[in-house]
Structure 1
């Protein structure tokens, strides 16, 4: 569904009577009406794959068609940008407004060579913050390696084990090199960024008098560390967010100053920073970590969202520990993250337990435990995911080649999306969407520049009266049109509360409250619609998102999709809305 086609085909959605068919003509950004196929014929563009003509599940879809062969051109071709005929005029206007986009042509080459399935399946993928799409060449290289290699458990001295250990060491070196980390750092492989943050939380020497300072606009994995802190008698101190998320630097510095360790012998204090919010799109200046360090804090950076599209140098900003997930950076492998950590900091962490692989000797029965002599092994429980670590090395090499071009490309696309979505209006003249996340303060102009925000747009859709359209309906409609986006609070309750303006409601929560309870309190579904761009994003994706929003802004198309949503969701959800 939702193929990006070079031909003009109407969106056909069957009405309740099978003999009557509605033709949906895509509106322009200002909003137009739906007419018959004979009207606005030049505007008609098919967002829907052939199957979506049969949304009524009682009518079977046509037989599957074989996928067309991938494009033969894998190098830069100025006249072959994989842009549909319907989007071509808008694309030329876009290039006139953003000529710098052309200098990122290498990413168009990448799209044609490594993401052909986006074209053959017709899916518009705009959920890169949820997970990047893996490049096809990375899968081929890794599969070929596995096919010709014999890998064994790293906790042995056999040839197969030595090869696995060599691959693990190469992956550690690749991670340190990618983040420009000195030999003061080591790498601990974890299941994901959450696992890396949990390692710090459960092992940090919190005590009475300790302070744990963090921003409200943080992932739940950062908030969760407060449980370890409170259990040890530490005080949890929150930095309040702005109305668009993140925090004011001056406010953060004041809170850090007031809660700093008073002397060198004071209980240790930890400052956790979210490098980039996964819902508000704000970026935090890493210089705040230098300030915290100067006050005596240990510093922990959650870079899960930041690392996918931004350059991070641990030589320039030497935080004590940083958490990343590789699937968010280049899509494969899932189930592998890392804690990039100073060895000196690691020595101060105390594991609350031990397991296979991180000990040298254990007295049984008894209490004697001797940890592994390798620092990183003391924090890797059991057997690491040795079969996929070679893909980490190859993935980082892959990303290194394209990352310099990415901020400039995404800057162009985000500015286009913000401008186009902000102009969308209902027939009544009222806005069709409200953008809640932070927007870039400036346009990037050259390769290598870094944006002051991420490449996320968090928004809500509005009906003509200005009321919020349920996110669950938007997600349903998007899926029917083969658009992969995300809705909800993104596991970031503080950031969501800030941009939705429900912080006072958040303060009224009580033990045992459920999500449904909270939604009844605020009077609508919680969360936002999130569009996030990444490595394989291009203008066609952004244009398709704008056209989808335009469909929701038109009453007739919105009502047709709503009828199907209600039919599929059931009466209970309908009554709730």
Structure 2
């Protein structure tokens, strides 16, 4: 890998057990349920007693126990909650009594997310996508069953109904984000990425322009630099802290040094990531006002922020903001939005046109008259009109529960961070995990408060000797235990490099380098294990994650899982770097 390969030797393991995992014979075959594990390991695997019972359709061996009223009230109903889970939950409530203020979300969990219990799945990948509530699907299905919707580019009754649904959805989006309809409009896109791309391709970058962004940003934000550099603009990065995000003073210095000399002749764009999808940092939205005061146009990537935080475009007057609705309330996928100032939109120049964008097109010739509706000039082809009513209903749904989420997630995050940080290997007493992402600095106590971080824990698992356990092994083990989490760099290479402390290696990359090359250079798999909480998360989800981490800290269970991982994977992942 050029200079990178000369300084780092790849660590190769050829289809044999890693030295960090000692072989212990336990009676378990590949694909077995964890209820079949031998008695000496059963205590460690107690979290699975409920999960596999649903998966394997086994009958409880004992009669259901009655538990304290508080547990039934504030946790999903189950017939066979283990004593360990009950005890842990009571201790949690004693430590975080304010969690009881969010009981309405426990009620929501029972009414709209019962499939999590019946399938035995622990879902902790809300940053990847929220889980849709069943009531939203029912309402939307009923609407479709009794309505006739047509293409919006017509004047028929079915088309008028579709157009009304689209207008209602735009109004709902503006209301949800407290954006004045006099100043802002909504462009529907396939996702937040599509919204960001709209700005990048249509922004008037020139040789004197600057595009300023944080290293800790999604690839969709980084991708705008291709448009900027193609047109001769400078790309200026705000360097991250060791836990991602950036210091406000650092951002202000970069913005000041690269500010526009004249917005008309050389406009400059500042893209702010509201919340990192890997480092868990929240950036102060007030930096948008500072950038605007220097003459920048401002773009807010709110894809990760909008699901659990209140955003007011009356207070934070960004020129444009990108969101994805599936990350907010799970359904529909394939629909996002650019919430954008009309004055800013009028300055963008699209490099092409399509059906729906135009009023008159001269053929042959070069004359094009754009649609008189500003948002239509940026919505290519036919919008996803069948799903837009679900956007309206989804925003109303989320509005009812969003005030309770920060407090609830604050309790769960403090419990999760504390429990994982205290986890030790039974053989050496060394830490079993290393949390790399930013952790909450303050604990919320009231409904309506806003957290200083998101609800993500990005970490790596460590062997008893302190080596990084392969993320692919962790993800494999989690899937075997019906836990949905995510591993990798989360499409955020700058944030990943910051929290993994591999920025020097990042600087030495060369044209044509592959991910495998990069992994061999650093000596291990790239990325982190990400646990992210959201709308339907409850204590049992966090507790299950902690119990899972305990399995990997216990030598017998870790070795058992490693044996199955080796047998089933064939070690094709960079030969188990």
Q: Give the alignment's TM-score, normalised by structure 1.
A: 0.90
Matched, 1:46 2:49: yes
C-alpha contact 1:303 1:323 (8 A) present in aligned 2: yes
- In 1, the alpha carbon distance for the partners of 2:563 and 2:372 equals 64
- In 1, the alpha carbon distance for the partners of 2:414 and 2:447 equals 16
Q: 1:392 corresponds to which residue?
A: 391
- In 2, the alpha carbon distance for the partners of 1:99 and 1:35 equals 35
Q: 2:510 corresponds to which residue?
A: 510
- In 2, the alpha carbon distance for the partners of 1:470 and 1:521 equals 15
Specify which of 119, 122, 140 is matched with residue 120 of structure 2.
122
Matched, 1:112 2:110: yes
How far has the Cα of 1:45 moved from its partner? 5.4
- In 1, the alpha carbon distance for the partners of 2:129 and 2:307 equals 10
Specify which of 73, 78, 83 is matched with residue 73 of structure 2.
78
Q: 1:92 corresponds to which residue?
A: 90
- In structure 2, the CA distance between the partners of 1:316 and 1:563, relative to structure 1 (3 Å rule), is same
SS of 1:78 mapped into structure 2: helix
Matched, 1:444 2:444: yes
How far has the Cα of 1:49 moved from its partner? 1.4
SS of 2:352 mapped into structure 1: coil
- In 1, the alpha carbon distance for the partners of 2:309 and 2:35 equals 45
- In 2, the alpha carbon distance for the partners of 1:364 and 1:79 equals 65
- In 1, the alpha carbon distance for the partners of 2:74 and 2:412 equals 19
SS of 1:35 mapped into structure 2: helix
- In structure 2, the CA distance between the partners of 1:17 and 1:483, relative to structure 1 (3 Å rule), is closer
Report matched runs for 1:485-504 at 5 Å: 485-504=485-504
Q: 2:355 corresponds to which residue?
A: 356
C-alpha contact 1:101 1:412 (8 A) present in aligned 2: yes
- In 2, the alpha carbon distance for the partners of 1:452 and 1:501 equals 23
- In structure 2, the CA distance between the partners of 1:22 and 1:250, relative to structure 1 (3 Å rule), is same
Matched, 1:35 2:43: no
- In structure 2, the CA distance between the partners of 1:172 and 1:41, relative to structure 1 (3 Å rule), is closer
RMSD (Å), alpha carbons: 2.4
Q: 2:179 corresponds to which residue?
A: 181
How far has the Cα of 1:287 moved from its partner? 0.2
- In 1, the alpha carbon distance for the partners of 2:154 and 2:45 equals 67
SS of 2:321 mapped into structure 1: strand
Report matched runs for 1:364-383 at 5 Å: 364-383=363-382
How far has the Cα of 1:266 moved from its partner? 3.9
Matched, 1:210 2:223: no
- In structure 2, the CA distance between the partners of 1:63 and 1:451, relative to structure 1 (3 Å rule), is closer
Instruction: Give CA deviations for 1:138-166 in whole Å, capped at 9, x if unaligned.
Output: 00000000000000000000000000000
How far has the Cα of 1:48 moved from its partner? 4.5
Instruction: Give CA deviations for 1:504-531 in whole Å, capped at 9, x if unaligned.
Output: 0000011100000000000000000000
- In structure 2, the CA distance between the partners of 1:87 and 1:174, relative to structure 1 (3 Å rule), is same
C-alpha contact 1:271 1:298 (8 A) present in aligned 2: yes
C-alpha contact 1:246 1:284 (8 A) present in aligned 2: yes
- In structure 2, the CA distance between the partners of 1:359 and 1:246, relative to structure 1 (3 Å rule), is same
How far has the Cα of 1:15 moved from its partner? 2.7
Q: 2:133 corresponds to which residue?
A: 135
C-alpha contact 1:13 1:23 (8 A) present in aligned 2: no
- In 2, the alpha carbon distance for the partners of 1:162 and 1:105 equals 41
- In structure 2, the CA distance between the partners of 1:104 and 1:574, relative to structure 1 (3 Å rule), is same
- In structure 2, the CA distance between the partners of 1:487 and 1:64, relative to structure 1 (3 Å rule), is farther
Report matched runs for 1:228-243 at 5 Å: 228-243=227-242
Q: 2:329 corresponds to which residue?
A: 330
- In 2, the alpha carbon distance for the partners of 1:251 and 1:421 equals 31
How far has the Cα of 1:46 moved from its partner? 1.9
Q: 2:412 corresponds to which residue?
A: 413
- In 2, the alpha carbon distance for the partners of 1:475 and 1:103 equals 33
- In 1, the alpha carbon distance for the partners of 2:418 and 2:537 equals 18
Q: 2:567 corresponds to which residue?
A: 567
Specify which of 138, 162, 165 is matched with residue 164 of structure 1.
162
Q: Give the alignment's TM-score, normalised by structure 2.
A: 0.90
Instruction: Give CA deviations for 1:253-305 in whole Å, capped at 9, x if unaligned.
Output: 01100100123544000000000000000000000000000000000000000
- In 2, the alpha carbon distance for the partners of 1:151 and 1:42 equals 51
How far has the Cα of 1:64 moved from its partner? 12
- In 2, the alpha carbon distance for the partners of 1:349 and 1:17 equals 57
C-alpha contact 2:263 2:296 (8 A) present in aligned 1: no
C-alpha contact 1:407 1:448 (8 A) present in aligned 2: yes
- In structure 2, the CA distance between the partners of 1:396 and 1:79, relative to structure 1 (3 Å rule), is closer
- In 2, the alpha carbon distance for the partners of 1:149 and 1:380 equals 24
Matched, 1:15 2:14: no
- In 1, the alpha carbon distance for the partners of 2:153 and 2:549 equals 54
C-alpha contact 1:13 1:22 (8 A) present in aligned 2: no
How far has the Cα of 1:215 moved from its partner? 0.1
- In 1, the alpha carbon distance for the partners of 2:442 and 2:57 equals 48
Matched, 1:545 2:545: yes
Structure 1 gaps of 5+ residues are 1-11, 26-33, 53-60, 66-74
**How many residue pairs end up in the alignment?**
538
Q: 1:6 corresponds to which residue?
A: none
- In 2, the alpha carbon distance for the partners of 1:345 and 1:98 equals 46
How far has the Cα of 1:572 moved from its partner? 3.8
- In structure 2, the CA distance between the partners of 1:41 and 1:188, relative to structure 1 (3 Å rule), is closer
- In 2, the alpha carbon distance for the partners of 1:258 and 1:217 equals 20
SS of 1:440 mapped into structure 2: coil
- In structure 2, the CA distance between the partners of 1:18 and 1:479, relative to structure 1 (3 Å rule), is closer
Matched, 1:403 2:402: yes
- In 2, the alpha carbon distance for the partners of 1:228 and 1:137 equals 42
